[in-house]
Structure 1
């Protein structure tokens, strides 16, 4: 690098820094590009989803990248520039909004813009052949254009323009639809500049910078219609005219040389910065501005702008555009920084673009502005494709849209949507979308497909499939030339690797309802909730019912725990739930606190009384809600309305309520440990008469809590469906605390390999079959060990299956099969259970550890101790 001697020290330092930045062409080593999926958007446009992997420093990173590939030779598709709302500047909106507004099928965000100004693009824009804005007078800004012959162009364009008054005086035009900005030397071009604004500029104010007061002239059909000195024309430009805005010297031109009624001549041009280029913007179908060149001849370009100005060396979300060497394909690109996707630096983006096929390309606005939208095949509505950097879809100045120009075609294909994982005898509805010869959506009205499956393991009725046998199949729909299929796995016992209750541990109480969702995971890694109707249920320790996966406890008397077993196709899982401990807190015979009446609003009539039923005192709340407006309530305030403190950390509050069939609500006001007032409902539909036990959940509140009131409410919405007058009685307000699972018996047994003699605690016993070593695994008699240590054993002769339950553990095992089910988890033993001398023998170590036994081994005497 040669530097002239007359360059000063400061200038020399700046020049060196610029050369280092501009010349940086870092190529990421060891990159890997994987095409994860692709889908046709419309005829001539394809969505490709990539994962790009590289090493950043010493860390391996991957980035999600999306490319819309457009065939520029296809007459059924086009690319055009979009702007704001309804193609107007200053009305910024998301790319999704612009795509929907303009009828595009896909799109990305476009040019850089000043977020502190009116929100118009920094560079030029041509939409549908019409100029919407012209290039900024800033060096190194590239634009992407497509000519009338569909030739893609990425180049720098300069602006030239003049406005000539009737008296022949001319003034240089600074640009069309530009906001305030500064040139490369930091000079504010709006200060002495003359700028032109068309109807594409939606605001009635133009280039407001807070410093330079505008003088404006309205020109219509080339005639001056209005001049406003030191203020703005109070309208947007009409479709058949424009507004000239001037400050400083430009103001003087307007004031001295333009007069209402005079003719004005305005001319401007956008010419290639490279004088050897001959293309004419008047032949452009579209054009959109950007910033630095990134790729030239499939190689990283030097940066034509200082990319530190937009964090070019930091990994961010990015947007770019480019085209192929044969000029037949255009590439619209976004990369994400969100979640596991690590974003890209501009040098990394250069390499990705080259990997993706770009011959020449440039950067568009990135970071929080990066958005890509596409219409899924068969859908009518476009959807956001990428994950925005800040989580939201930012309103931006403009974008690039992809448009279908195809005529309406005939049905070409169908796309199916529905469950890919089913359980036997589970009926599932399959829906379909349709697209035509040009891959555009068509209405499904009147299309009645023929439904079938590749394997005869179920039946169809219309579009509802009910499988009856497990296995993999394809659901197929056909209509005319259109057809589609999707893989469906029908789950059977052999395909399951785990089946588990997923609601965690909690206590159950009498009268309570508890959801018991079950998740099934298959060998293929698919996971789904098991429909409650597909399971068979078994209860132990309580009396109750399970309806639609909800356990209702009728009685838990004398029990410390409830065991719920669910089975599907012979595959079992179990959850053991402690019975909650109930403490009566308020019954007016033995326990009570100060109770007073209250009401809301003032027009409500209510009272609190203490009558007796069969010698038992209870709390009575009478109410008259026939007057007043809005939500109405009648309260029983506790402890003078200050709240009565509740000990410990209860999970539920219960009460016996004598209902009046009014359909009103019964609720409680509870003050939590943070002093916040919470409303919990016993019922939001008091549809019964007589006594009923009701429950409200307080487990999610911060402890300790205080009970402020019990009350009857008639919410404003739906008051005409509830009784306006009535009374309820309340008794035995109780709190339910977490229960404890019963302790297992602490028995000890001793056995000897090859010997039938054994002891249980201190009692000598004789086994029918001695412990045996098979393939270095010690097998022991299952029933003796399990029942001796507090478990139960059940035998299923048809399946040759043994079910073992001990405490909160359930094991299913099959004779001569190495796979066992332990609380719904499939486990493979080294040695399968076997029958010896009519006794079921099982691997000691596996079974004992899974059932919570402790096993000791005496290698000298081949002795076994289990406790």
Structure 2
């Protein structure tokens, strides 16, 4: 996919309708929309803005969660600096969160690109606290971000120039400072004949190890050669008052022939703008961080200064970028997420986002699995990961950009309350608080004892614990000195609920197992929260079992086709009907198994399949793997019946297995062949992040049956491969299939009624009603007990509440006399006409009840006849 920017008259236009050429077809994307969802002060001079960016791809709407840290470069209480590894050292990669904590930053993002297979140093330059830690690579088109001594931001290309001069006057070109092995634009290995300088920022005792070029090194201290190691390395980290020169090829000859212990050495280097018309005092830069292509120039999409296909530039990924405003007073640190419903960005999309966010000039930083943003929430001492990373973990990276508070200690300015905003009757909720000073930096709360109160009498405080007693809205208040905070809290009762639903998803019950039954409550104000299990009153029918703290344990389901679970809270009801399924163990090495052999992909992978025995005698299937060699997606298989696979009986809904995880983050999958002979892959997990046994499940209900199970296997996909362990072993036991139970069909009865007549029939058997159907306000009302019971349902009457509960099949309805609001499987529905009592018979609106209970209604207008079935 290539991106062509729209051309205006005589210039490159920054139109938000932009053109994509995909597979030879040109499409025009609609204007992307940028919506600010929230913002929070991090510290004086730095704020976090959370955005939702929406656009279209392939005629489909997509949205992306993006975060922007804006730093006021004119504010003396904040600064930007570069971070590196652990304790600001290269070759000791760690997460951005770790670097932020190590260096005392209040926020940060990941930085430069790096070779994940090398020692762990940035591709480009880095200056931290005014000290040069790395210099630019000799690769064209790589941009760097810097802050001058006057706090002016710079984004530009810098070239490296350097020489080492021996006592005899011989000079040799210096390749760079603290560089690992790399190749220039012509694929020439720079380390082959190169001379490189290493400071104490390089924490390893080996330098630029590529497995091919043997180093010769010289230790220089206070400008004098202290040691020379020919065809080997000096077994130490460079001292603070010196450096180590590493050379191979021609550089080796220079060290061996022209440097001698005790001789002085002169080393000089410069970082000059690629555009020689520009002048920068780089020796007085406060910070510098390397990146890759320029993205935005003068608030317009820049041409790409590097080939972005090399880092998936046209694929939606997580992204990190940095830039500054036109007036050079604001710096922007940007991340966008590729995780869950947030669909990531291509680099052309990132350009558009940056422009909309206010960037005048900006460049890309490392992205994908490296993208991380960390911020310190207002009032907190500890920073936290702000974005959702692409693979769910925090990659160890080589460097980052940190934001630091330089403010003095201030006075208490404000409090922030933490706690539930929606609580339930009789629920006790603990409220905590944080405090911050005049510079928005945290204050310890140990000595602060606020006064707690609420604005209404629907609850009470004991210390900082609020116990709700009555439904309604209230405001929690905490005060201490000049600081105060309030929080709006809603105590939810029946009248505040719009929906109460079981949220566990679809599954079949099996004997002896436990099933969580979470209940999600949505209020009329639009807030959704899980109902505490202890707040519900539970009813179970159809099977033998118990419900404790919202967990159903099935003791016995013999002879049952389904179970009905009813949960009630403050008179509000919901129900779920769960089929009783049957779990059949298919592969158990102690009892039943099939011929199992090992396989691998690609050929370079090393894998074995073995039968192992645990200390308790239980046999398991072990899959060992070594993915260190080969390219692309890698896999280690346990194949069933050779390459044939084994046909599975019937149409199971799920496949389950017990997996002993190795914490590798690799995938565990099952390979099927469906009825059309097509390969179908289903994941047990795409993140083996546990150690020990765990039961895992994959949904196979969408397969075209009959199916064959060919293999189970461990996979390390090409995308994000460096996130996962390359060696390991998992164990598998008790592969089972779960077959879905069938809910009993309702009786096929037929009821005939006539408006204003008590004569009726059930399956053509004449009957007499106590109250005839009637029409009120154009709505036909029918006797609910007769109709429901005739069609296979049950009716209960609650005299105290004047409430009728109707259960038919998997439907539950609560109705209150003279109240138009009905509850249908936990959803509040409003009828045009409320239920009424006529001649001691409960009458309900036919149209609504028929729709919600699944009746089929026939209407004969001439005689006003009604048929229900």
TM bucket normalised to smaller: 0.7 to 0.9
Deviation at 1:571, TM superposition (A): 1.7
What is the alpha-carbon distance in structure 2 between the residues aligned to residue 759 and residue 471 of structure 1? 48
Contact (CA 8 Å) 2:247, 2:255: kept in 1 or not?
yes
Q: How far off is 1:194 after superposition? A: 2.1
User: Structure 1 residues 346, 768: closer, same or farther in 2, change over 3 A?
Assistant: closer
Trace 1:569-580 onto structure 2 (pairs within 5 A).
569-574=570-575
Verify the 8 A CA contact 2:755 2:774 in the aligned structure 1: yes
Q: What residue is the counterpart of 1:491 in the other structure?
A: 492
Partner of 1:32: 33
Distance 1:746 1:34 in 2: 54
Q: Find the structure with the greater CA-based Rg.
A: 1
Q: How does 1:248-327 map to 2 (within 5 A)?
A: 248-327=249-328
Query: Which residue number corresponds to residue 203 of structure 2?
Result: 202
Q: For 1:373-388, list aligned pairs within 5 A.
A: 373-388=374-389
- Secondary structure in structure 2 of the residue aligned to 1:287: strand
Aligned 8 A contact 1:25 1:301 in 2: no
* 1:536-588 Cα distance to aligned partner (Å, 9 max, x none): 4567789998665567999999999986654322222345689999xxxxxxx
CA distance in 2, matches of 1:95, 1:273: 30
Query: In the TM superposition, what whole-angstrom CA distance separates every residue of 1:443-478 from its partner, at most 9, and x where no partner exists?
Result: 221222222233432111111112222223332222
Shift of 1:59: 3.7
| CA drift at 1:793 | 4.2
Q: Does 1:832 align with 2:831?
A: no
Asked whether the equivalents of residues 25 and 302 of structure 1 are also in contact (C-alpha less than 8 Å), the reply is no
- In 2: Cα distance, 1:392 partner to 1:790 partner: 52
Return closer, same or farther for 1:567/1:301 CA change in 2, 3 Å cut-off. Answer: closer
Confirm whether residue 366 of structure 1 aligns to residue 370 of structure 2. no
Contact 1:216–1:231 under 8 Å retained in 2: yes
Distance 1:44 1:226, change over 3 A: same
Aligned-residue RMSD, C-alpha: 4.0
Which stretch has the larger CA shift, 492-501 or 125-134?
492-501
- How is 1:625-640 mapped onto 2 (pairs within 5 angstroms)? none
1:393 and 1:169 map into 2 onto residues whose CA distance is 47
Superposed counterparts of 1:52-201, under 5 Å: 52-56=53-57, 58-201=59-202
CA distance in 2, matches of 1:230, 1:512: 65
| Aligned 8 A contact 1:104 1:401 in 2 | yes
Alpha-carbon distance in structure 1 between the residues aligned to 2:555 and 2:219: 83
Counterpart contact for 2:509–2:554, Cα < 8 Å? no
Corresponding residue number in structure 1 for 2:332: 331
Quickly say closer, same or farther: Cα 1:189–1:631, change in 2 above 3 A: closer
What's the CA shift for 1:104? 1.4
Aligned position for 1:770: 772
CA 1:228–1:767 in structure 2 vs 1: closer, same or farther (change >3 Å)?
closer
For the residues of structure 2 that align with 1:700 and 1:395, how far apart are their CA atoms?
Answer: 31
In structure 2, the CA distance between the partners of 1:83 and 1:857, relative to structure 1 (3 Å rule), is same
CA distance in 2, matches of 1:133, 1:50: 34
CA, structure 1 residues 739+31, in 2 after alignment: closer, same or farther (shift >3 Å)?
A: closer
Q: Are residues 760 and 81 of structure 1, via their aligned partners in 2, closer, same or farther at CA, if it must alter by over 3 Å?
A: closer
In 1, the alpha carbon distance for the partners of 2:234 and 2:696 equals 64
Q: Which residue of 2 aligns with 1:18?
A: none
Query: In the TM superposition, what is the alpha-carbon distance from 1:513 to its structure 2 partner?
Result: 8.8
Q: Which residue of the partner structure matches residue 782 of structure 1?
A: 784
TM superposition shift of 1:70 = 0.8
Secondary structure at the counterpart of residue 756 of structure 1: strand
CA distance in 2, matches of 1:446, 1:698: 48
Counterpart of 1:239 in structure 2 is 240
Deviation readout 1:683-711 (Å, 9 max, x if unpaired): xxxxxxxxxxxxxx999999xxxxxxxxx
For residues 367-389 of structure 1, the C-alpha deviation after alignment (integer angstroms, 9 at most, x for no partner) is 33222222222222222222333
Measure, in 2, the Cα distance between the counterparts of 1:489 and 1:27.
Answer: 46
Q: Any idea what SS the aligned residue of 1:259 has? A: coil
Structure 1: any 5+ residue segments left out of the alignment? 1-22, 582-629, 635-646, 651-673, 675-696, 703-736
Residue number in structure 1 paired with 2:655: none
Distance change >3 Å, CA 740–CA 407, structure 1 → 2: same
Distance in structure 2 (CA, Å) of the matches to 1:766 and 1:786: 16
1:847 alignment partner, SS class: helix
1:817 and 1:302, CA in 2 relative to 1: closer, same or farther beyond 3 A?
same
Aligned mates of 1:210, 1:554 — CA distance in 2: 62
* Greater CA drift, 459-468 or 183-192: 183-192
In 1: Cα distance, 2:559 partner to 2:173 partner: 97
Q: In the superposition, relative to structure 1, how do residues 521 and 203 fare at CA in structure 2: closer, same or farther (>3 Å)?
A: same
CA gap 1:205/1:574 in 2 versus in 1, 3 angstroms: closer
Shift of the 838–368 alpha-carbon distance from structure 1 to 2, 3 Å rule, reads closer
Q: Does 1:395 align with 2:396?
A: yes
Mark the runs of 5 or more structure 2 residues left unpaired by the alignment.
1-10, 18-30, 583-613, 619-648, 653-671, 673-694, 701-738
Local SS of the residue matching 1:132: strand
For 1:118, what is the secondary structure of its paired residue? coil
- 2:729 paired residue number: none
Among residues 736, 756, 759, which one is paired with 2:758 in the alignment? 756
User: Structure 2 vs 1, CA of residues 33 and 855 (structure 1 numbering), >3 Å: closer, same or farther?
Assistant: closer
What SS does the aligned partner of 1:163 have? strand
Give the C-alpha shift of residue 230 in structure 1.
2.0
- Distance between the aligned counterparts of 1:566 and 1:57, measured in 2? 44
Residue aligning to 1:47:
48
Partner of 1:13: none
Q: Cα distance 1:851–1:340, how it changes in 2: closer, same or farther (>3 A)?
A: closer
Contact 1:24 1:302 in 2 (8 A): no
Measured after TM superposition, the shift of residue 242 of structure 1 is 0.7
Q: CA deviation at 1:481?
A: 2.2
